[in-house]
Amino acid sequence: MWAYALIATGFINWDYQRSAPHAMVHSLIIIIPGAILLAFTFNKGLSATLHKPASKYIWGLIGAAALAYAFLN
């Protein structure tokens, strides 16, 4: 769900900032981590690493930073 939240927020951000310069780049900064996380869930080996506490913490920080960037940008 975290991956979907990042991807959706990135596309919503892109839509709202469509007339701003570099809107695509700013939105991709939010979408790409979500897409990477989503890709991890489809790979059996990488999916197992997502259950580790350190991995949850790291992805939590990455996601929180991307969402903060979306709201502050």
Q: Which domain holds residue 51?
A: 2-72
CA proximity to 31, closest of 69, 57, 72:
69
Which residue type, as a one-letter code, is found at position 44?
A: K
pLDDT band at 73 (very low <50, low <70, confident <90, very high): confident
Residue with tokens 């580790």: 52
Q: pTM of the predicted model, to two decimals?
A: 0.85
Tokens of 22: 């570099």
E strand map for 1-73: none
pLDDT value, residue 72: 87
pLDDT value, residue 20: 83
- Rounded Cα gap, residues 31 and 27, in angstroms: 6
Total domains present in the chain: 1
Q: pLDDT, tens digit, for every residue of 18-72?
A: 888 888 898 999 999 999 999 999 999 888 898 899 999 999 999 999 989 988 8
pLDDT value, residue 4: 94
